[in-house]
Chains A and B, each alone.
Chain A
Amino acid sequence: MRIAEMRAILENTAIDHVYYRTYDPMARCIGREYTPHRSAHIALLVGAGKLGWDASGVAESMYWSINSKIEQVWNLDCSGPLFDTDTGEWNRPARADVVDAGLAPDFVKEIEANVKAKGNAFGVDDDKGAVGKADVLYVVDDSTRAFNPEIAEAVQKVLKDQGVSFAVLAKGTDGWGLYDLGLFDLAEEKAKEFAGFVKESGAKTVVANCPAVVYSLREWYPTMGLDLGAEVLHTTEYFAQLGVKGSYSGTVTFHDPSYLCRYLGVVDAPRTVLGNVSGLELVECFFTKDKANPSGPLLGFIDEEYIDLIAGRCAEELALAASTVITAGPASKRNLMRVAEAANINVMDIAELLAG
């Protein structure tokens, strides 16, 4: 069991003197004490042999966090390096233990089944053809393919308008989301497959509109020895490099996706891109950049209602700044769209804004 070897980090998290609940989605939006330091306490008891994964609620408690790193940012802000811990460091191995024990929650099993049946997390029919060859490869992730294909269309329009010659990779899954849910073996298998697709293209530059894919390819793949031989950029970074210009009339606010602002630390590129849009006035939300509140999970969550509560709170805060919300990640758009009507906001990806 992986967590039996992780006592120090679990103990440190579990006895976090003042765990910062204010911006923890489970405490703030759901109203439950389902915080990382409580689940670390539970994992500690399992690791010590005091409790089994099969005790009621125990396996599921490892999935209480959406691993947005928001708690790490605030803990660091409040307490400095003493609590500079990414919940994922211990809860991903704990989730893998849960998966090994055959006790993964239903939503995880569903995602696993989708990947095994269709090659992607949401069970959409993938492109079966070979990956085209080009110096620039645009990666359309599974969430974009399943829920927001309009983002992919917009990205491709922008690239074409810029005269960029590119190939499209719209199949498979990069694996990070599976890893995050504790499906370690499947994640590694799919990552290797995905790396093969990327290499097949011969691309020198890989561009993705999903920040988690960029994190995966840029940060996670090297830890597994997967060298893509290419620079990996988020669309906002690439658009900023290209100096893409656009026009829009009105006021907008920008929602920083968790993987873009906290995992990758990219906060300037989207604002540079928005600054190149004539007629657009950007009004920053009260919570912005690395302190932007998460809109919801990357792939799925233990309770659908919880997603609406998390997204709803995020949308409410964004609405105070402007009724048009620009974001830059498919999970953010997917989550915010669930509550857009209730919050009276319009949500669009930055690529859609540029595509006009």
Chain B
Amino acid sequence: MAQTLSLDDVLRRGDTIQVEPIILTQLATVVGERNIATTVADMIAYSHDIMPSVFKWVRRDDVPYLPRLIIYPDSTEEVQEIVKICSYYDIPVLAAGGTSGTIAGMVASNGGIVVDMKRMNRVIEFNEYSMLMTVQPGMLGQDYEDQCNMRGYIGGHYPQSIRCSTVGGWVAPRGVGTFSTKYGKIEDIVQGLQVVLPDGSLMETVPVPRASCGPDVDQMFIGSEGTLGIITQVTLRVWPKPEKVEWVGYGMPTFEAGIDACREILIQDLYPAVMRHYDALEASHAFKDLGYNDAVENEEAGLYFGCQGRSELVDLEVKVIHEACKAFGGVERPGFGKRWFSQRYNTGYLKNAYMLPNGTGDAIECASNWHNLAAMHDEMRDRMYAAGAGEVFGHGSHFYPTGGNLYMIWSAVADDEREIEKLYWRVMDAAMEGVLAVGGAIGHHHGIGLNKGPWIHRYQPSAFKVVQKLKDALDPKHIMNPGKLGL
């Protein structure tokens, strides 16, 4: 049960049931036979997320990781019983939401069964006075936002994957939304969790704004990527619908000048919902579309803001943004932000590199403090080019009073098909080395999964030992999503 199973293995064996009959019967007793899927088609459907290498597997008809079966629980109690059975028989358990992760966080790299949480998609409670929404984790992201909107509120969490990810899938990798500077990251939005632990017992936190009652247990599970348990309920903050929305955009003389402007705004305690800052190469794509040829010629970096909320606050944010950008040499570039907003869920460009015959690429997110952000950009870019990347550009899209993230997007074409994966990992390694060289974080919101596993032990190694000990204590049999998060 804990061995990697490929499509070739399954076809060679000629059978479809990859689980011992007695275990299958026990699982069926929990959820009913019709809520267990064991066909080859089902296994293929759950064989991958959207880690970039997956596209190459698909294109060469390779299916390297198949789960043994897929099970569809409808309640926390059913999840508990499933986990108890898996714990008894040492069966790896992989919780799946929208399967939209980019870091191979849910692939069955050690065999096991997939617990698809999407049947658990209901609103449990909406407390309007406290502005808290409690939902099951399998609710799809846009569905969650729609449920908030139907009640006159917004969820405030808008990852690019909102229409394919689930609420549980936001929490598991410690994700962020594009409006995060105002509304916070998922760890700021979540106020309570219910988690089925690896022995099948239930862990629940009290959804209060804050408590001085020991370490924050919610935060131990936010970002645990299914390695410490399965999230079965989430309580999240919601916000009133904004009264006013404004978009403003600027061309900046350098990437560093844009970073300075962002910092200036945040240290004045203003938090525009959207702050996105692009290097000159990435900004040039948008500037060309918008007809700002002078900005392209001048190699301007691009910076835009989305301000929303109470009208007077929006007006103040726009005023301060304008002052800060002007102070650092910015030129107004109207339409820049709105252009992004109209295409905010479009990830088609990421596919372009993979549609080329020997093309590859990725979007790597990482984080650092203000004083290192520009250096991290340059360090990563230079190392990635040296490792064989054809084009590298980047932007920051989530900021804090002390720093921000970087999203380094790269593409390359290998000499031949056999070299594609080698090239991918060479560039990936260069990027990670660049981050570590300046003391940054190797992941900002995608998580670690299998994809960044090789580097996680080098990022704050002494702290990682604590995570390892937590894993060993909670999951001594290592059945929960084994191999992910470097565990």
Question: Which listed residue, B16, B34, B347, B355, touches A56 by the CB 8 Å rule?
Answer: B16
The distance from the CB of A246 to the nearest CB of chain B, in whole angstroms, is: 30
CA distance A74 to B345 in the complex (A): 11
Instruction: Flag whether A279 is at the interface (Cβ < 8 A).
Output: no
Instruction: Flag whether A126 is at the interface (Cβ < 8 A).
Output: no
A22, B142: Cβ atoms closer than 8 Å: yes
B164, A58: Cβ atoms closer than 8 Å: no
B118, A18: Cβ atoms closer than 8 Å: no
A21, B41: Cβ atoms closer than 8 Å: no
Instruction: Flag whether A226 is at the interface (Cβ < 8 A).
Output: no
B118, A56: Cβ atoms closer than 8 Å: no
Instruction: Flag whether B119 is at the interface (Cβ < 8 A).
Output: yes
CA distance A45 to B11 in the complex (A): 12
Instruction: Flag whether B460 is at the interface (Cβ < 8 A).
Output: no
Residues of the A chain whose Cβ atoms lie less than 8 Å from the Cβ of B121? 28, 31
A50, B7: Cβ atoms closer than 8 Å: yes
A22, B348: Cβ atoms closer than 8 Å: no
A31, B138: Cβ atoms closer than 8 Å: yes
Which of A34-64 touch B at CB < 8 Å? 34-35, 38-39, 41-42, 44-45, 48, 50-51, 55-58, 60-61
Question: Which listed residue, A20, A28, A30, A57, touches B41 by the CB 8 Å rule?
Answer: A57
Question: Per-residue 0/1 for A1-24: is the Cβ within 8 Å of any B Cβ (1 yes, 0 no)?
Answer: 000000000011011111111110
The distance from the CB of A103 to the nearest CB of chain B, in whole angstroms, is: 12
CA distance A131 to B483 in the complex (A): 69
A19, B55: Cβ atoms closer than 8 Å: no
A82, B58: Cβ atoms closer than 8 Å: no
CA distance A18 to B345 in the complex (A): 9
B163, A18: Cβ atoms closer than 8 Å: yes
Instruction: Flag whether A164 is at the interface (Cβ < 8 A).
Output: no
Q: Which residue of A lies closest to B8 (CB)?
A: A50
Instruction: Flag whether B160 is at the interface (Cβ < 8 A).
Output: yes
Instruction: Flag whether A286 is at the interface (Cβ < 8 A).
Output: yes
A51, B346: Cβ atoms closer than 8 Å: no
Question: Per-residue 0/1 for A233-273: is the Cβ within 8 Å of any B Cβ (1 yes, 0 no)?
Answer: 00000000000000000000000000000000000000000
A56, B39: Cβ atoms closer than 8 Å: yes
User: Could you say which of A12, A34, A82 has the most chain B C-beta atoms within 10 Å of its C-beta?
Assistant: A82
B100, A18: Cβ atoms closer than 8 Å: yes
B116, A18: Cβ atoms closer than 8 Å: no
Question: Which listed residue, A17, A45, A286, touches B348 by the CB 8 Å rule?
Answer: A17
Question: Per-residue 0/1 for B48-70: is the Cβ within 8 Å of any A Cβ (1 yes, 0 no)?
Answer: 00100011001101010000001
Question: Per-residue 0/1 for B90-119: is the Cβ within 8 Å of any A Cβ (1 yes, 0 no)?
Answer: 000000101110000000000000001011
Instruction: Flag whether B343 is at the interface (Cβ < 8 A).
Output: yes
CA distance A23 to B146 in the complex (A): 11
Instruction: Flag whether B303 is at the interface (Cβ < 8 A).
Output: no
Residues of the A chain whose Cβ atoms lie less than 8 Å from the Cβ of B346? 78-80, 82
B45, A34: Cβ atoms closer than 8 Å: yes
B118, A32: Cβ atoms closer than 8 Å: yes
Instruction: Flag whether A33 is at the interface (Cβ < 8 A).
Output: yes
Which of A180-237 touch B at CB < 8 Å? none
CA distance A45 to B43 in the complex (A): 13
Question: Per-residue 0/1 for A296-312: is the Cβ within 8 Å of any B Cβ (1 yes, 0 no)?
Answer: 00000000010000000
CA distance A19 to B101 in the complex (A): 12
Instruction: Flag whether A90 is at the interface (Cβ < 8 A).
Output: no
Instruction: Flag whether A117 is at the interface (Cβ < 8 A).
Output: no
Q: Could you say which interface size class chain A belongs to?
A: 35 or more
Residues of the B chain whose Cβ atoms lie less than 8 Å from the Cβ of A83? 348
Instruction: Flag whether A320 is at the interface (Cβ < 8 A).
Output: yes
Which of B122-180 touch A at CB < 8 Å? 138, 140-143, 146, 149-150, 160-164
Q: Given A44-B61, A83-B348, is A17 in contact with B45 using a C-beta cutoff of 8 Å?
A: no
CA distance A57 to B59 in the complex (A): 22
CA distance A283 to B191 in the complex (A): 35
A78, B163: Cβ atoms closer than 8 Å: yes
B59, A78: Cβ atoms closer than 8 Å: no
Q: Given A50-B7, A78-B346, A79-B346, is A22 in contact with B40 using a C-beta cutoff of 8 Å?
A: no
Instruction: Flag whether A101 is at the interface (Cβ < 8 A).
Output: no
Q: Which residue of A lies closest to B16 (CB)?
A: A56
Q: Which residue of A lies closest to B118 (CB)?
A: A31
Residues of the B chain whose Cβ atoms lie less than 8 Å from the Cβ of A19? 100, 164
CA distance A213 to B42 in the complex (A): 34
A41, B44: Cβ atoms closer than 8 Å: yes
A320, B150: Cβ atoms closer than 8 Å: yes
Residues of the A chain whose Cβ atoms lie less than 8 Å from the Cβ of B46? 33
A286, B150: Cβ atoms closer than 8 Å: yes
B59, A79: Cβ atoms closer than 8 Å: no
Q: Given A55-B40, A55-B41, is A74 in contact with B72 using a C-beta cutoff of 8 Å?
A: no
Q: Which residue of A lies closest to B346 (CB)?
A: A79
Q: Given A15-B55, A18-B345, A55-B11, is A61 in contact with B16 using a C-beta cutoff of 8 Å?
A: no
The distance from the CB of B356 to the nearest CB of chain A, in whole angstroms, is: 13
CA distance A44 to B60 in the complex (A): 10
B41, A18: Cβ atoms closer than 8 Å: no
B146, A286: Cβ atoms closer than 8 Å: yes
Instruction: Flag whether B296 is at the interface (Cβ < 8 A).
Output: no
CA distance A151 to B142 in the complex (A): 36
Question: Which listed residue, A22, A56, A58, A82, touches B143 by the CB 8 Å rule?
Answer: A22
Which of B390-441 touch A at CB < 8 Å? none
A11, B58: Cβ atoms closer than 8 Å: yes
21 A-B residue pairings within 8 Å (CB atoms): A11-B59, A15-B59, A17-B350, A18-B100, A18-B163, A22-B164, A27-B98, A28-B143, A31-B120, A32-B37, A32-B72, A33-B46, A38-B44, A39-B45, A44-B61, A56-B38, A56-B40, A57-B40, A57-B42, A60-B41, A79-B348
Given contacts A21-B140, A82-B346, A305-B34, could you give 7 more A-B pairs where the C-beta distance is less than 8 Å? A22-B164, A28-B140, A41-B58, A44-B61, A61-B41, A79-B345, A79-B348
- Shortest beta-carbon contacts, A-B, top 8: A57-B39, A57-B41, A31-B119, A82-B348, A31-B118, A22-B142, A56-B39, A61-B41
